[in-house]
A and B are shown apart, each in its own frame.
Chain A
Amino acid sequence: SQTIHQWPATLVQPVGSPLSLECTVEGTSNPNLYWYRQAAGRGLQLLFYSVGIGQISSEVPQNLSASRPQDRQFILSSKKLLLSDSGFYLCAWSVMTGELFFGEGSRLTVL
């Protein structure tokens, strides 16, 4: 069966520090991969999605970036975090236009 792993689960980072969140999917090939952010008390915002290795689409301008170095690996990064980057980050996967499955999330607090 398919599983999705996301880490770290929680992190506290100072303003201006770098960020790396990682997500891997097991049990499937060539999934579509997504990064969402959920700010406190707000809805889910799509940040990036990828339909294949090296193919990244960005939904909103920001100081975050995403990479897909392997078929089932999706990484969210920042060179310098801002206070506004705080939130709950969720990785998700699907195959073509099928059902979307989410990881457990990474809670980021920028101080």
Chain B
Amino acid sequence: KQEVTQIPAALSVPEGENLVLNCSFTDSAIYNLQWFRQDPGKGLTSLLLIQSSQREQTSGRLNASLDKSSGRSTLYIAASQPGDSATYLCAPFSPNDYKLSFGAGTTVTVRA
């Protein structure tokens, strides 16, 4: 069974600082890995999808890296803004059972 761990559980930074969110997973036999954002009381918004053959994926101020062999992914958010405050979840997709496994998330607060 895939186990996903996200560190830190919570993070508070001043506006403008760069954010580094870590995700580790136990089963490296993944097809892809997805990063999501969740605002309080809302559904999940997909941020980035990294295929298992890729090392990284970028979208605007977001960059996600993937080291499949070591079971790690990192989400970088450059020049953070108060609007980046949310919970960020990573989810590797396992082809064996057709499902994503979720970490508990990292709750980010960006102070103005």
- Residues of A in contact with B (beta carbons under 8 Å apart): 6, 32, 34, 42-44, 46, 49, 51, 59, 88, 90, 92, 97-105, 107
Which residues of the other chain, B, contact A101 by a CB distance below 8 angstroms?
A: 46
Question: Is there an interface contact between B98 and A104, defined as CB atoms closer than 8 Å?
Answer: no
Q: Is the interface of B mostly helix, strand, loop or mixed?
A: strand
Question: Is there an interface contact between A100 and B46, defined as CB atoms closer than 8 Å?
Answer: yes
Considering residues B45, B49, B91, B99, which has the most beta carbons from chain A within 10 angstroms of its beta carbon? B99
Q: B77 on the interface (CB 8 Å rule)? A: no
A104-B42 contact given A43-B102, A49-B98, A97-B95, CB 8 Å threshold: yes
Considering residues B31, B43, B44, B46, which has the most beta carbons from chain A within 10 angstroms of its beta carbon? B43
Taken together as a complex, chains A and B put the C-alpha atoms of A51 and B97 apart, in Å, by 11
Question: Is there an interface contact between A102 and B99, defined as CB atoms closer than 8 Å?
Answer: no
> Range of interface residues on chain B?
20 to 34
Interface membership of chain B positions 30-66, coded 1 if the CB is closer than 8 angstroms to chain A and 0 otherwise: 0110101000011111100100000000000000000
Which residues of the other chain, A, contact B89 by a CB distance below 8 angstroms?
A: 43-44
Which residues of the other chain, B, contact A90 by a CB distance below 8 angstroms?
A: 43-44
- Residues of B in contact with A (beta carbons under 8 Å apart): 31-32, 34, 36, 41-46, 49, 89, 91, 93, 95, 98-100, 102-105
